[in-house]
A and B are shown apart, each in its own frame.
Chain A
């Protein structure tokens, strides 16, 4: 089995996902290292509970791995929208079921990992240092960023988003759809 080793760090997210699918065992680890802080910051903002956010983050990456196997997303650059959409759906599923979703981890037979006080402190530090909007704005096309920010990060209605973006709700739906539709399908397929 080839090991991408150091070279993986230079690949973009889409390339890492492709390498993962073709059997590069380290590629998904590189993606995890690169993206777990962003996902954690997003989930902590939503849950305000470091332990729950870590639990959801773990489930998010397990669900992403399953989605990659079941219905690979077409990602050519950043995987941030894809991961945040999975994180958001994991959050909603967890809420509906009254507990942190763990189906993906169960399917992958992942073992529990102990969370320590220093882990919790680190999560808080990550959240404090991670400016979600700034990071995403740097790596996404402007229209996709605006739509994703409004729909996934800010959680507002289409009508309100359209008013702010000065376009019709239909256009917003289309933009959002372009950004996350395939990702939602992937998530649905995984559960």
Chain B
């Protein structure tokens, strides 16, 4: 038993003796106020608000009395991204039971805003293409949404629900990945998707008068969130020099941290960034650039920790010898081959490539993807490691003819032969196919000259 528990047990035993006295004698009086003692610790008022989903309804009841509902947030077109449908792009939310129209899981996270008002929440949405998408925002009446402030919704002061179907492609990941994200300077309105209508963070340069104004300093938040997998138990972070620890939620190791921005000077965090990697990758960060400074994992009955803020003499470091976990990687068929046809067109700054080929295998979800990668000539004038690419963000039938458009930039003085390949890759991040694949099979090759 720890010092806390043994100390508290002693006090309880003493209190029991004071209450019930001599054996066999029942108490004859009610227990009354005795001596007022100070709080053991000052638990932040708002930390207490971060209780369970049970309590959200009560909070919402109070909130709805002062905040009205506006029109819901609508989907925005993501430039260069496939439009989502059941079989394209990131997919659409998987249909849920009758009582819940989608598989979206609003996590039991109700995190107070540093300035008060509606709490922050987080939702995980599974899509038809097998991805996990994260949504964060403000909470009202058990709904996730955006506040009409900081330039959002013409500052109408209303709550605008964020439907589970309005997903940000950049917030979607493979379910076998762990993801740590952060955004410093996010407006308190809670709109993560796009700064086009809201105010800009103070660190964003405002080069034209037509660009949104800078956010009021009091409205800037440092938001960190992610999913760390089912083995993650807790994350720790520092605020004003104090180490705080919160347990993960939702069975997927989800976490959410909301602080005032700019962050504590001790932080050396990127203004907008994140990392991702396979769940079975150990040892892992987070490094000093992360808001999360420590993560505790549980494997069987063993706890271990990782991060840069580990107390000396504490839990052992998570290494592969402790972290027994296996992430199933989709198998990519080997020995596939396809003929590639190529058309090139000179455009300002480079070439537009039109690559066509016949798919030799079926793609049924986002766990595998066809793509085209082009490596510029190995010449310093062309840049180091210059790879251009594009993925096919949709399900594909075997034998289907595919056409992929890729832009390949050409720096001044860069000449030679660019090598291209068509690949079938496993577990890519959605979006541009720039080598972020865990395993890829080359199924076709091509080349073209950069004169």
Residues of chain A at the chain B interface (Cβ within 8 Å): 1-2, 20-29, 32-33, 36, 44-52, 54-55, 58, 61-62, 65-66, 68-70, 91-92, 94-96, 98-100, 102, 105-122, 124-125, 127-129, 155, 160
Contact = CB atoms under 8 A, between A and B. Distances in A.
B250 to A, nearest CB: 10
Given A69-B31, A109-B35, A48 B50 contact: yes
A1 B16 contact: no
A107 B37 CA distance: 9
B49 A95 contact: yes
B43 A107 contact: no
A33 B1 contact: yes
A49 B248 CA distance: 9
A22 B25 CA distance: 6
A23 B247 contact: no
A102 B39 CA distance: 8
A95 B48 contact: yes
B303 to A, nearest CB: 5
Given A1-B23, A109-B35, A125-B303, A52 B15 contact: no
A65 B16 contact: yes
A46 B11 contact: no
Contacts of A105: 37
B51 A91 contact: yes
B121 to A, nearest CB: 13
Interface string B362-385: 000000000000000000000000
Contact of A55 (B14, B19, B30, B43): B43
Interface string B17-32: 1111111111100111
15 contacts: A20-B20, A21-B26, A23-B24, A32-B8, A32-B12, A45-B247, A48-B109, A49-B246, A50-B234, A70-B30, A94-B48, A102-B39, A110-B37, A121-B315, A127-B233
B55 A92 contact: yes
B34 A109 contact: yes
Of B5, B25, B47, B303, most A-chain CB atoms within 10 Å: B5
A115 B39 contact: no
B37 A112 contact: yes
Q: Looking at chain B, what size class is its interface with the partner chain?
A: 35 or more
Contacts of A47: 50-52
Contact of A111 (B11, B30, B47, B109): B11
B318 to A, nearest CB: 14
Contacts of A54: 4
B23 A49 contact: no
A55 B24 contact: no
A44 B2 contact: no
A58 B314 CA distance: 24
B76 interface: no
Nearest to A104: B31
Identify whether the interface residues of A are mostly helix, strand, loop, or mixed.
helix
Contacts of A106: 33-37
A21 B22 CA distance: 10
Nearest to A48: B247
B53 A155 contact: yes
Given A69-B20, A113-B40, A52 B48 contact: yes
Contacts of B303: 121, 124-125, 128
A112 B41 contact: yes
Contact of A114 (B4, B47, B99): B4
B411 interface: no
Given A29-B12, A32-B12, A46-B51, A124 B22 contact: no
A91 B20 contact: no
A46 B51 CA distance: 6
Contacts of B52: 45-47, 91, 155
Contacts of B246: 48-49
Given A98-B45, A98-B49, A124-B303, A112 B38 contact: yes
A115 B31 contact: no
B47 A52 contact: yes
B325 to A, nearest CB: 15
Contact of B13 (A29, A48, A98): A29
Nearest to B247: A48
B358 interface: no
Those 7 A-B pairs whose CB atoms lie nearest each other, nearest first: A112-B40, A23-B23, A48-B247, A46-B52, A155-B54, A28-B16, A128-B298
B9 interface: yes
Contact of A58 (B8, B22, B311): B8
B301 interface: yes
Contact of B27 (A32, A69, A98, A113): A69
Contacts of A32: 5, 8-9, 12
A119 B38 contact: no
Given A28-B13, A52-B43, A22 B49 contact: no
A108 B1 contact: no
A146 B2 CA distance: 33
